[in-house]
Amino acid sequence: QAAAEATLRSPICCVLGHVDTGKTKLLDNIRSTNVQDGEAGGITQQIGATFVPTSALAQRTAVINRQGRLELKVPGLLVIDTPGHESFSNLRLRGSSLCDIAILVVDIQHGLEQQTIESISILKKRKTPFVVAINKIDVCYGWTPRLHSGFRASFKNQKGHAQKHFNELASKIVLQLAEQGFNAALYYENKDLKKTVSLVPTSAKTGEGIPDLLGLIVQLTQRWMATRISFKTNVECTILEVKKVQGLGTTVDVILSQGSLKQGQTIVLCGLDGPIRTTIRELLMPQPLRELRVKSNYVSHKVVSAAQGVKIFAKHLESAVAGTPLYVIDDNTDESRIKEIEEKVINELKASLDRFETQEEGVCAQASTLGALEALLVFFETSKIPVSSVDIGPVHKKQVVKCSTQKDALYSCILAFDVPVDPEAKKLAKQKKITIFTADIIYHLFDRYMEFRKTELE
């Protein structure tokens, strides 16, 4: 019978939720890492990806799987971390568009918050199944931690007042979910997995409930999504980030959601100045249980199969655009078909940049990725700052020249988010009296510009 079963790929699970509910910390607990402590401002500003292999899933779920009822058939789990800060709704959209299932993280004390509701509506729209992690249970009054324990065993051992506090807070969340149109129940009391959302109490601090959460995700994907997560050969791949790696050169971080990538394969991707056709030199992956977005000792692979977060090294990637798809060209593809793909890739980028409305008079917005740029423009829109031009990548002389056509000092500015400024560009900006604002936290950039504006207007 086993032979008749399709080979499964790793399910992709996206972690969504309001800012500071503990999304990254939950992953840190699963990985035994400390990514969250290293984040600028303690907030996530990029999509991350972590591969959790089956061996780790088996190890973590062992405490709730003594009878061996949970059979692990998936090769692992690819977990995607997203930012909860309000300005990154586009990255939440992208993260959720890549996933098969989602974990919506709610802070037990805060209940449903603004971006929780936003995440719910994204999930609803895409019909993505999800579970709710009620996180930070360790803050319940008088909670006695039981490190890495299954929730039920831990809960049984809590004193009456801790149990009472937990029950009160959890019931509130059930009510709030009902207001959003969802039946919800603690996962082990959930009688109808298809109609009722499962709640999993967790603590990213103590690891309690994490075995339950991982077990549930595996169970739900294996049982209800077997067709969707069966391995197919057609490649589906999206660029997350474009990054320079010291001693190597420019690389792209991608999420491979279907099929396999091989060293030596020809790929086509979207570049700022046109399509990029190149050959995969290196397929690099972090060690299992390490975050793709964090620098580490990458391991080189000949072949990588979905689902995985992969760093691709190839020539000509400097102008690659994050957020766009990557296509694989088979050896027998003829030139006219490749040309078609190249055209498609460029049209997709044009469509993305055209969506941004620009005015004659306004500041110049520059960001590292399409996603970051979108986030930046959300700020400008809500604060009524007009934008005259947008671009992706480092600030070069070209952008300074473009900006120098602005007459008003208020708009002779480049607001650069998460990108370096070329020294030549800096020099030219000084000559032309153009102010370049840079920041790696999106709202700092905004604050700096607003301050400048205030002094200019005085």
- Residues in touch with ligand GTP (CB under 6 A): 17, 19-25, 36, 42-44, 83-85, 135-136, 138-139, 203-205
Distance separating alpha carbons of residues 400 and 364, to the nearest angstrom: 9
Output the CA torsion 128→131→135→138 (10° steps).
-170
- How many CB atoms are located within 10 Å of the residue 139 CB? 15
From candidates 8, 16, 17, 20, binder to Na ion by CB under 5 A: 20
376 binds Na ion (CB under 5 A): no
Residues making contact with Mg ion (CB under 5 A): 23-24, 44
Residue 324: contacted member of Mg ion, ligand GTP, Na ion, none (CB under 5 to 8 Å, by partner type): none
Residue 60: contacted member of Mg ion, ligand GTP, Na ion, none (CB under 5 to 8 Å, by partner type): none
**What value does the CA radius of gyration of the chain take, rounded to a whole number of Å?**
23
Cβ-in-10-Å burial (0-12, 13-18, 19+) of 72 comes to: middle
Closer CB to Mg ion, 24 or 135, in the complex = 24
Output the CA torsion 324→328→332→337 (10° steps).
0
User: Distance between alpha carbon 439 and the CA centroid of its chain, in Å?
Assistant: 20
| Minimum gap (Å) between residue 45 Cβ and Mg ion | 9
Binding residues for Na ion, rule CB under 5 A, total 3
Closer CB to Mg ion, 212 or 291, in the complex = 291
Closer CB to Mg ion, 135 or 278, in the complex = 135
Distance separating alpha carbons of residues 415 and 453, to the nearest angstrom: 13
Q: Considering only 12-20, 62-70, 159-167, 420-428, which stretch makes contact with Na ion by CB under 5 A?
A: 12-20
Closer CB to ligand GTP, 409 or 441, in the complex = 441
- Binding residues for Na ion restricted to 35-74, rule: CB under 5 A: 42-43
Q: Residue 119, SS3?
A: helix
- Strand duo 299-301 + 282-285: pairing: antiparallel
Q: Residue 288, SS3?
A: coil
| Minimum gap (Å) between residue 108 Cβ and ligand GTP | 9
CA distances from 166 to 158, 162, 220, 263, 341 (A): 10, 6, 25, 51, 54
Residue 85: contacted member of Mg ion, ligand GTP, Na ion, none (CB under 5 to 8 Å, by partner type): ligand GTP
| Minimum gap (Å) between residue 23 Cβ and ligand GTP | 4
Q: What is the DSSP letter of 411?
A: G
| Minimum gap (Å) between residue 371 Cβ and Mg ion | 15
Residue 378: contacted member of Na ion, Mg ion, ligand GTP, none (CB under 5 to 8 Å, by partner type): none
Whats the size of the chain, residue-wise? 458
Closer CB to Mg ion, 26 or 235, in the complex = 26
| Minimum gap (Å) between residue 389 Cβ and Mg ion | 31
Distance separating alpha carbons of residues 381 and 374, to the nearest angstrom: 10
Residue 139: contacted member of Mg ion, ligand GTP, Na ion, none (CB under 5 to 8 Å, by partner type): ligand GTP
| Minimum gap (Å) between residue 133 Cβ and ligand GTP | 9
Residue 83: name the closest of 94, 74, 73, 72 by CA: 94
Element (H, E) at 242: strand 236-245
**Strand ranges across the sheet with 435-439:** 387-392, 363-367, 413-417, 435-439
Closer CB to ligand GTP, 30 or 428, in the complex = 30
For the chain, the farthest-separated pair of C-alpha atoms sits apart, in whole angstroms, at 78
| Minimum gap (Å) between residue 115 Cβ and ligand GTP | 8
Closer CB to ligand GTP, 33 or 44, in the complex = 44
| Minimum gap (Å) between residue 322 Cβ and ligand GTP | 18
| Minimum gap (Å) between residue 91 Cβ and Na ion | 14
Name the site residues for Na ion (rule: CB under 5 A). Answer: 20, 42-43
